[in-house]
Structure 1
Amino acid sequence: MTSRRPSDAGASPEPLQSIVTTKLFPPREAGRLLPRDHLIAQLVKARRHRCVLVDGPAGSGKTSLVAAWRRELLALGFDVAWLTLAPDDNEVARWLDYLLASFSEVDPTISDTASQLTGRGVDSEAVERTLIALVRSIAARPREIVLILDDLHSLTDLASRWALQWLLDQGPRNLHFVLVCRGAPPVSLSRLRAQHSVFELGFRDLRFSQGEAEAFLKGKLGAIDRRTAQRLYELTDGWVAGLQLLSIGWSRKRDLRDTKFVSRGQIQDEQSFTDYFEHEILSKLSKAEYALLEAASICNRFCASLCAALLGKEEDSDRIGSLLASLVTQNVFIIPVETSDRETWYRFHPLLGEAMRARLRQHPEAQQLQYHKAAWIWFRDHGYVDEAVRHALSANEAAAAAELLDQYGQDLLARGQFRNMNSLVRQLPEQEIQARANLRLWMARSQLLARELDACADGLRRLEADLPADDASAQFALALVKATLAVACDDTDAAMRVLPQMLHPPEDADPAAIGGRDNILSWLYMHRADYELARQIQLTAPATRADGVPLLGSPGGRLQGRCLVGLSYALEGQIIEAERIYRDVLYESEQRGPSCIDPACLAAALLGEALYELNDPSAALQLLEDRVDVLERVSIPDSVLRVLSVLSASHWLAGRRQEALSYLDRLEDYAVSLKLDRLLAYSLGEQVRRHLEQSEFEAAKRKLATLEDIGRTHPKSGSHLGDEIFIIVARAQVRSDVAVGRYEAAAARLGPLIELCEARGHQQIVAMLQLQNALAAKRRGMREQAGEATLAALRLGHRLGLVRSLLDADASALDLIRWCGDEFGFDVLLSFYVERLRDAEVSAQTAAPTPRGDGAESRSAILDSLSDRELDVIRLLSQAFPNKKIARALGLSPDTVKWHLKNIYGKLGVAGRDDAVARMRDLGWNADGAAASTS
C-alpha cells in the first residue's frame, strides 16, 4: 500500500504539476500583428463595464486584441487574470481549479479560502460555496480585477456554465469579465445588457479596415502597392487570419508582382482558410517540418523536448527547438505562450490546430495511439500528471493511467489537490479502480471529503471483504480510513473499536499515514482523559522504518498533532499555554496554504474557544466569523460544534439574540443533515438554556422534550455517545428545574451528573455544575453546603484558568460568588481570581454596541445602496426568520443568503442580525419596505 513513484522504474520525474500553467497566460506575440489603437481606446474606455464581450470567428484577432488591451489595463493599475479554455476543461471541478489558479497568478491570497474548499464535492451547493469564498476575497481587495476568459466557446459543460453565470450575477463590483469566444457566449448577458453594463465587439468591429489591411501587409512584406493591397483586402473582407495567410504565401513568391495566386478564391471563412492553408503552406513545408506539426497536434500545448519524444528523436531536442523557433519566425501560425516554466511552450493557432488534427485523423489509429503513448510517458516523466493521465487514456492504456494515479495519488493529496485527484480518478474505467486498493481507498477518502458518508462506509465494507487478511499494509490503511470515517461521523466508540489495528503500523507505511494515525490516537486518548499519553504520541521522537528513514508525517499532519497537544493542555486547564500553541499552528498552517487547511481549521476552532473562555468574545468573533463557512465545510464535527457554539455564545454576550440563536439553528441543521445526534442534542440543550434566560418557558419545554427523546434513543450505557448525550440532557433538565424553582429535583440530578463528568475527565463542566449545585443548595437554605460547593467550583475554576465557564453557569453566578465571599471569605489566590471574574463581567456588559446618528442625506444613501434582494432578506430578518427559512422563501441557497447577509452587514456597518434590523429601523425603514420621512 505504499505510494510507488515512477522513479522506481527508472524515470526521473520532476515535481508534480497538476495545473497546465500555459493556460494562465496570453500568447507572447499576441497584439503585435498591428496596433489597433481605435479598438484599444474603446476597450480602455469600457474598462469599468461589468462585462466586455469580444465575439468573432477563429482568426479574427480576438486574442491578439485582448492581450494588447491587457497590457494597457496593467499599466492603469488593474489586476488581470487570464484563462484560456480548452475542450478538456469541460468538467466543473477542473474548470474551478483553473479559475482559482488564474486568480492565484494575480495574488495567491485571492484564491486561498476558495481553494480550501476543493475536493469537498461538485454538487451545485459545493460549487456555490467555492464561488462565494472567491468573490468574498475579491470584494475585500481595494483594486479592480479583470478576468479574461479566452476561447470561452470551448466551455460546454452545463455545471461549469452555471458557475460562470453565478459569477456574472453575484460577483462584487470590482470584478469585471472579458469573454472571448466564437459566436454567442454560453451564458446569458440579458440582464447586464438591460443595465448597460456590457460592451461588445463583434466581427465587423474586429475586421481590418482597408487602411489597416494595407498597413498590416506592409509590415509583413516590407512593400506592397495599393492596388494589390486592395485586392487582398477584398479577398479576405478584412479577416485577420486570411490576411496573415495570404501575406505568408505572397512573401514566398519570387516576384511580388505575381498575382496568380490571389485569384484562387476568397479566404473569408474557416473552410476556405483550411483549403488555402493546405495548398499554399502545408504542401510547401519540408518533410521534417510537416512531421513535427502533425505529431504536435495531439497536444493542447507543446515544447521542443516533448516534440522530440513524440517523434522518437529525444537526442534532437535542440534541433527541434530551433525548427520550432524558425516556424514561428515564418509566421506558420505557431504561437509562443508566456509561462513560468524553463522551456518555451507553444500552441497552434486554432485554425491550424484544427487542420492538423483533421489530417492526423486520416492516419492509421496505431500511429495516433503511438503519439499519445509517447506523450503520456513524457508528461509523466516531467511531473505533469494531469496531462499524463489524459494522454494515457487517449492511448487506450487505462491500466497505465490508473497506475499513474496509484503512484502519484499520495503526492497530489499531500499538495492539497483533492479535487484534481478526484477529477482524474473519475475518468478511469470502474474496473481499473476496483483492481487497485489504493484507488479504492482514495475514492473512500474523496467521499469523506464530500461528506458522502454512507457511500464511504459502503465502499469500505466491500474493500474489507476483498482485502487479504495477511496484507498488513492494506489492512492498516483500511483501519486508518475507517477510524477517520468514525471521527467524521462523531462516533468515538467506532473509532475506539479500530484502535487496536492502528497500534502497530507495518514497516512500509508512508509518513503521512503514520502522522494521521498518531493524530487519531491522540484524539482518542484525550476522549479517555489520558492527556499525558495523548501528548507523548506527538512529542516523542518519530518512529523509523527498517532503512532508518524517520516517519515524520505530512506537514499538515504534524501541525494537526501540535494542535492536539494544545488541546490536551486546555483540557487540563492550561488555557494560556494552549492559546499560544493554537496561534502558532494557525499562523504556520495559513503560510503553507490549502495543503494545510485541516490543521488551520482545527487551530482556528480551538483558538476561538480559548479566546471566548478567556473573556475575549470580540476576538473570537473576529477570528471565526469570516472563517465559519469554510470551517463548517471542511472540519470534523467536533470542531464545527466548537465554532458554532462559540459564535452563538459570543453574540449572546454582546446582546445580539437573533444572531446567537441563528448559530444554534445552524448547528441543528448541520447535525440533522449529517445525522449527528450528539451535536443535535447540544444545540437543543443550548436552545433550552437561552429560552429559559428569556423566560420563554413554553419554548424551552418544547425543546427539552425533543432533547429528552434523543436521550431515550441513546441511553446512558458506558459508551461515549450514550454518556455524552446523557450529560447534555441532564444539564438541560437541571437548568429547567432551577428556572422553575424545582431545587430538590435539580440537586438530585446534579450529584450523579458531577460524578459522571469527573469520571470522564470533563473538569470544565464539573466546575460549572458545582456552581449550579451551590445555587440549588443556597435557594434551599443550605448555607454551609452552598458555600462548600461554591468554593469547590472556584478552586477548580482557578486551577483550570476558567473565566466564561463560571460566569455562564448561571445568570446569578457572580451574585452567588459575592455572597460566598461575604459569608465565608476567600484566601489571597481566590480573592485575586474572583476579581478577574468581576472585571470580566464588567467588560462584557460595557461591550454592547453604541447607537449611531446619521443625517437625512446619509440615511438615504445607505438605503439606496441596498439592492432589492438585500431588502427582501432584511424584511425576513425583521420577522426573525433563520437563514434556512429565508432561503426557502426567496428561492435561494443558504450559502447565497449568507453572502447577502455579509454584504448587508458591511453596508450597514453592523455585526449581526439584531444590529441590522435595529439599524434599518434607525434609518427610517419599516418592514413594509417603505422608508419613513427624514424631515
Structure 2
Amino acid sequence: MQQIPVSATTCPRNTDDQKFSADPRWTPPRSGARVVARERLITQLLDARRKRCIVVQGPAGSGKTTALVAWREALLPLGFDIAWLTFSPDADDSTHCVDYLVTSLAQIDPSIGREAALLGGRGTDDEAVERTVIALVNGIANHPTQVVLVLDDVHHLADARNHEALQWLLDYAPPNLHIALLSRTMLPLALGRLRDQGLVLELDMRDLRFTAQESEVFLKAQIGEIPAKEARRLHQLADGWAAGLQLFAIHAKLRQKAGCAGAPQEAASQIQLHDPQAFAEYFDREVLSRLEAPEVELLIRMAVCTRVCASLCVALVANEQDAAEVVALLSRLDSDNLFVAPIEAATGAEVWYRLNPLFRETLLGRFRARSQRDQRDVHMRAWAWFRDHGHPDEAVHHALLAGDTSAAADLVLQVARPLQVKGDLRKLVALMRMLPEAEIETRPGLRMWMAHLHLYARRFDACAAAIAALKRDTGENDTRPRYRLTLLDAALAAQRDDPDGAMSILPELLRTPEHSDGWIIGARNNLLSWLYMHRGHYEDARRLQLDAPPLIVDGAPLVGTNVGTLSGRCFVGFSYALEGKFTQTERICRDVLFEAEQYGHAAADASCFASALLAEVLYEFNELDAVRKLIESRADLLERVSIPDSVLRVHTVLSATHWLLGHRLDAFAYLERLDEYASQRDLPRLVAWALAEQVQRHVSIGQMDAADATLARLDALAASIPAERPGTRAEVLVAAGQAHVDWCVAHEDFEAAAIRLQPLIARCDERGWQRRAVRFGMQAAVVAARLGRLDAARDGALAALRRGHRLGLLRTLLDADPGAAELIRRVLADERDDPVLAFYGARIDAARSAAPASPARAATQADARRAEVLSERETEVVRLLSQALPNKKIARTLGLSPETVKWHLKNIYGKLGVSSRDEAVARVRDFELGCASGEAVR
C-alpha cells in the first residue's frame, strides 16, 4: 500500500490503449524512398556514435531530422537501442518534459523507466526532477546494450528547469548512453567539460548544407533528369538548404503536371529561398494555391492535430469527404513528398500521419486567421474523435481549445478510474493540471481526485485541507462519497504513520456501503489490515485478505495498483514480518515480485512493498549481498513511494548490512537518513528506531558521548508523545527501552539491564512482536550469564532458541548481543540429543562464521590509476566523507543538491572499484590522493 485510493465515477475500461508507435512525439518520421543518401554527414555521425553528446543546430528545413533518421537506420544493424522524442511547445513544463523522456526510453525496455515513472507526478521542484532523472539514468546504466536518445526540436524547451533536467541527463549519463540534440537555436547547456574530453560532436548549418553533388542527386530523385548546370543553379539559389531544394522540386513537379515546359529552369528564375519565412511564403503561394479547395481545407484542419489518421480527418471535415477519398489524398501527399509522412512502425487498423513542422506552421497560420467560431468547431470535432477513440490527453487538449472546459473536466472525471487501474496516475496528474481550477471546484468528484493526487505527491497538508472541505460540502446521507472520504482519511493516517488517528475512524471504515466495487473493497481491506497489524491483531489482518471475495472492477480482476490482490498479499506478508515469521514472509514476497513483473507498471506499488519486506527477510537469513542487490540502488525510490513502515525496514536493514560488512560510515549514514526523513515528516516512531539503532552502534564501538547525546534525544522524544497516541507511544517506549538496555550493557551495569529487559519482553509478547521478544529474551540470557545466573541464562537461551527456530530467525539472535553466539554454543553443547536444536544451532553458527566480503583488499597499480581519475569535485566529496558527514551536509558544504552528491558517490565507487563509503575513504587514504587544496585526505 503506497497510497490508498478513492473511488470515482466509473466508466467502461478503455481497451484501445494508445500505442507509442502512433504518437509522433516518440517516433521518428519515416525515411522517404527518394531522400538522398548523405554519406558524408552520416559518416560523421557514425564515427561519433559512442560520444556522449551530438548537437545538431540549424534553421527549420535544414535537414536535421532527416539526417538523424538516416543515422538511426544505420545504427540499428550495429546493435544500438534507439529512443526518439520530438518536443512540442506543450512539453515546456518540467513534469511533461521529464515524463516524455521516461516514456521515450520505455519503448526500448520498460524496465529502463520503471523507477523513474514511479517518481513522476510526485513533485516538480528541482530535487524531484533531479531524482527522477537519476532514476532514469540508473535504468539506462542497467540496460545491457548501447542506448541512443534522439531529442528533436529541443528549441521548444524554454523553461530553465527543463534545461537543468537535460544538463543532469548529460552530466550523469552512464557510458552506454549517447544523446543527440536537434535544435533551431543555440542550446543553453554547459558542454565545456564534454568538449574537453572529446565527447561531443557539434554540427551546424555549414555541415547540414547539401553539397552541389548532393543537391543534384536530390533533385534528380525528386523530379527526374535535370541538367547538371541547372542543378548547380538551384543549389546556389537554395544555398544548399534542404527545404529550399524540396520546394524547388515541388514547384517543378506541379508545373510538369500542368504541362509547362522548362519547369526547373523557371523555378530557378522565380524563386529565392534562404530562410524558413521565405519557405512558408512560397509554400502558401505556390503549393497550397495549386491544390483543390477540399484538399486545402482538409490540410488546414489536419494541422490542428499533432497526428492524424483517415477516420480523424473525416471527422475534422464533418464527413464532407469519405474515408476512401481521405486515404487516397494522404497516400498521394506522401508519395509526392508533400510534407506529409506516415509515422514509422504504425500499428493497428489505421495508418497515422504527421505533418512536416514547417508545413504545419503554414497551415496553422491560415487556420488562426479564421473566426473564433470556426476554430472552435474544428477543435470540437477533434475533441469528440479523440474522446471516442480512447485518447483522453489529446481530447482534453482540444476540448479546452474549443472553449468547452466543462466537457474537458467531465472527460477527466470519466477516465480517472481507468487510468488509476492501469497504474498511470502520472497521466491523471497531467490531465488535472490542464483543467481550469474553477471546473475542478464545481465537481466534487474532481475535488476528490485532487485530494487523492495530493496524497500521491506527498502533499499531506493540502490533502487534509481538501478532505476537510469536501466533508463540509458532502451531506451526511451521501453514503458513497462520505465513505470515499473516510478511505482518504485513513490513507492519510497511514502515510503519516498514525494508526491511533486511524482508530478514531474505525467505526466509519467498517461501514462499507452496499454494492461497493472491488476498488473500494481492496482499499478498505488494505487499510484495515494495516490498522489491525499495528494493534497486534495479525490473524485478523490476514483473515481480512485471505477470506475476501475476488476484487472486480469493471468486470475484470483487480490485481495490480496499490489496492489490488498483489498489494493485499503484501499485507499478509507484512503481518508475518511484524510477528517475525520470516519463512512465510519470504514465500509471499518472492511470489508477489515474480507476478508483479508480469503486470508491469500497474503492479509497481506492490513490487516496492514486497522488495522492502524481502530485504528484511534476506538480512535475517544473513544473505547480505542479496540485500544490497535488491534494495540499495532503489533506496531513494522506496523512500519516496512507500509507506513509512517500508522506509523503516529499508534503512534499518541497509544500515545493519553495512555494519556487518565493516562499513561504519554507511551504516550510520542510513540511520541518519532515516532520522532526517522521519523528522521532516513528523514520524516519531521511525525517529525512535533510528535513534535506538544509533545508540547501539555508538556503544558497540565505544563512542559513549555520542551515545549519551542520542539517548537523551530519544528520551525527550518518548516524553513528548501524547497519551492520545497510545500505539505510537508504546512502540517509542520499546525503542527507548532497547537503547537503555544497550547503554547499560556497554557500561557493564548488568543488573539495571536485567531489570529493564523483563518489561520489554512482556510488552513485546503483549503486542505480538515475537521477533523483538526473541531478541530481548536472548539479550536477557546473556545478561544473566554475566551476572552469574547460569540456570536462568540457560533457560532463557533455550526459550529464545526454540522460539527463534519456529519463526526462522538467525540474525535476530546473533545481533542481540556480542556474547550471544558463545552462549548459544555452550547451551547447545548440552542439548546434543535434540536434533532440531542441533540443526538450528548449526545454522546459527554458519551465519556467524560466514565471512562477509572484506572491505580491504591489496592495492595494485591498476587501483592507483583508477583512483587518480577522480575529478576535483569527487575528491572534495571523499574528503568530506572521511569526516563522517552525511549526504545533506556534504551537499550544503559544496553547494550541491543531495541527489548530485549521491551521483558523485556512485561515480567515485565505480572509479575506485569499491562499494561503500568506508572503502572509498580507505582507498583514497591508501594512495594519499590530494584533495582540492593539495592536502592528503585524512
TM-score by length of 1: 0.94
Question: For the Cα contact (< 8 Å) 1:542–1:550, is it kept in 2?
Answer: no
- 2:699 matched residue in structure 1: 692
Cα distance in 2 between the residues matched to 1:543 and 1:499: 23
In the TM superposition, 1:164-183 aligns within 5 A as 164-183=166-185
Tell me the secondary structure at the aligned position of residue 150 of structure 2.
strand
Paired position in structure 2 for 1:468: 475
Please say if 1:614 is aligned against 2:621. yes
* Equivalent in the alignment of 2:231: 229
Aligned amino acid, residue 858 of structure 2: G
Q: Please point out which of 885, 894, 902 is paired with 2:898.
A: 894
* Residues 217-226 or 664-673, more deviating: 217-226
Do structure 1's residue 372 and structure 2's residue 379 form an aligned pair? yes
Q: Pairwise CA RMSD of aligned residues?
A: 2.6
Higher mean C-alpha deviation, range 816-825 or range 65-74: 816-825
Distance in 1, Cα, partners of 2:282 & 2:846: 86
**Cα–Cα, structure 1 residues 802 and 50, in superposed 2: closer, same or farther, change >3 Å?**
closer
Residue 523 (structure 1) aligns with: 530
Aligned partners of 2:612 and 2:649 also within 8 Å = yes
Would the alpha carbon gap of residues 226 and 723 (structure 1) be closer, same or farther in structure 2, given more than 3 Å must change? same
Q: Whole-Å Cα distance in 2 between the matches of residues 426 and 160 of structure 1?
A: 18
Is 1:266 equivalent to 2:284 in the alignment?
no
Is residue 2:300 matched to residue 1:298?
Answer: no
| Structure 2 Cα separation of the partners of residues 414 and 569 of structure 1 | 28
Which deviates more, 590-599 or 829-838?
Answer: 829-838
Q: Which amino acid aligns with 1:109?
A: S
Once the two structures are TM-superposed, the CA of residue 572 in structure 1 deviates from its matched residue by 4.5
1:821-860 deviations in Å (ceiling 9; x for gaps): 56899854434433332232122xx22416433443x134
The percent of aligned pairs where both chains have the same amino acid is 47
Aligned to 1:859: 863
Q: Of 447, 452, 463, which aligns to 1:456?
A: 463
The 8 Å contact of residues 7 and 484 in structure 2, kept in 1 or not, is answered as no
Contact 2:150/2:180 (<8 A) preserved: yes
Stretch of structure 1 that moved more, 696-705 or 713-722: 713-722
Offset of residue 541 of structure 1? 4.6
User: How far apart in 2 are the matches of 1:2 and 1:657?
Assistant: 47
Hey, what does 1:321 align to over in structure 2?
327
Aligned match of 1:878: 882
Extract unaligned runs of 5+ from structure 2. 1-5
Report if the CA contact (8 A) 1:13-1:381 is conserved.
Answer: no
1:48 aligns with 2:44: no
> Per-residue displacement from partner, 1:270-314 (whole Å, max 9, x unpaired)?
222222222221111111101110111111111111111111118
Tell me, in whole angstroms, the C-alpha distance in 2 between the residues paired with 1:826 and 1:782: 24
- Secondary structure of residue in 2 paired with 1:560: helix
3-state DSSP class of the match of 2:342? strand
In structure 1, what is the equivalent of residue 100 of structure 2? 98
For 2:405, the equivalent position in structure 1 comes to 398
Which of residues 637, 640, 643 is equivalent to 1:633? 640
1:276 is the counterpart of 2:282: yes
Give the residue type in structure 1 aligned to 2:901. V
Structure 2: how far apart are the matches of 1:447 and 1:19? Answer: 32
Q: CA deviation at 1:124?
A: 1.1
Q: Which residue pairs with 2:114 in the alignment?
A: 112
The CA distance in 2 between the partners of 1:381 and 1:478, in whole Å, is 31
Counterpart for residue 3 of structure 2: none
| Equivalent residue number for residue 307 of structure 1 | 313
Counterpart amino acid of 1:310? L
2:262 to 232, 252, 257: 257
Distance 1:833 1:197, change over 3 A: closer
**Correspondences of 1:31-180 after superposition (within 5 Å):** 32-180=34-182
Q: Distance in 2 between matches of 1:473 and 1:197?
A: 59
Would the alpha carbon gap of residues 490 and 202 (structure 1) be closer, same or farther in structure 2, given more than 3 Å must change?
A: same
Distance 2:501 2:292 in 1: 69
- CA spacing shift, 1:18–1:759, aligned 2, 3 Å: farther
In 1, the alpha carbon distance for the partners of 2:118 and 2:894 equals: 29
Higher alpha-carbon deviation: 655-664 or 779-788: 779-788
In the alignment, residue 672 of structure 1 is paired with which amino acid? S
Is the 1:6–1:407 contact (alpha carbons within 8 Å) kept by the matching residues of 2?
yes
SS of the residue aligned with 1:358?
A: helix
- Supply the AA of the counterpart residue of 2:292: S
Q: Answer yes or no: is 1:659 the counterpart of 2:666.
A: yes
1:869 counterpart letter in structure 2: R
Partners of 1:87 and 1:155 within 8 A in 2: yes
Deviation at 1:333, TM superposition (A): 1.8
Shift of the alpha carbon at 1:32?
4.1
| Residue segments in structure 1 that go unaligned for 5+ positions in a row | none
Q: 1:237 to 1:45 in 2, by over 3 A?
A: same
1:438 aligns with 2:445: yes
Mapped to 2, the partners of 1:509 and 1:570 lie a distance apart of 30
Q: Is the 8 A contact 2:423 2:560 kept in 1?
A: no
1:868 corresponds to which residue? 872
- Return the alpha-carbon distance in structure 2 between the equivalents of residues 909 and 188 of structure 1: 29
CA distance in 2, matches of 1:142, 1:568: 37
Contact 1:103–1:110 (CA under 8 A) maintained in structure 2:
yes
In the aligned structure 1, how far is the partner of 2:558 from the partner of 2:252?
66
1:421-454 per-position Cα deviation (integer Å, ceiling 9, x unaligned) = 1122012111211222332222222222222111
Asked whether the 8 Å contact 1:715–1:726 carries over to 2, the reply is: no
Equivalent residue number for residue 483 of structure 1: 490
* TM-fit CA distance, 1:592: 2.2
Aligned equivalents of 1:603, 1:284: Cα separation in 2 = 64
Matched residue count: 926
Q: Trace 1:208-227 onto structure 2 (pairs within 5 A).
A: 208-227=210-229
Q: Which residue, 490, 493, 499 being the options, matches 2:500?
A: 493
The separation in 2 between residues aligned to 1:264 and 1:508, in whole angstroms, is 75
TM-score by length of 2: 0.94
Q: Assess if the C-alpha contact under 8 Å between 2:151 and 2:182 holds in 1.
A: yes
Distance 1:167 1:591 in 2: 29
The whole-number CA distance in structure 2 between the counterparts of 1:684 and 1:169 is 36
Give the structure 1 partner of residue 918 of structure 2: 914
CA distance in 2, matches of 1:687, 1:88: 49
Structure 1 residues 778 and 40, CA gap change in structure 2 (3 angstroms): closer
User: Structure 1 CA distance, aligned partners of 2:387 and 2:483?
Assistant: 29
Q: Cα 1:790–1:853, aligned 2, differ >3 Å: closer, same or farther? A: closer
CA gap of 1:449–1:321, structure 2 versus 1, over 3 A, is: same
Q: 1:223 to 1:805 in 2, by over 3 A?
A: same
Q: Distance in 2 between matches of 1:482 and 1:77?
A: 51
| SS state at 1:777 partner | helix
Alpha-carbon contact 2:615-2:627 (below 8 Å) kept: yes
Bigger CA drift: 668-677 or 753-762? 753-762
Matched residues in 2 for 1:315 and 1:293: separation?
12
Letter in 1 for 2:915: A
Q: Which of 244, 247, 250 is equivalent to 1:248?
A: 250
Cα deviation code 1:704-732 (max 9, x no counterpart): 00110001101567711111111111221
> 1:315 and 1:842 mapped to 2: Cα distance?
81
The answer to whether 1:676 aligns with 2:678 is no
CA separation of 1:245 and 1:684: change in aligned 2, threshold 3 A: same
* CA deviation after TM superposition for structure 1 residue 870, in Å: 2.0
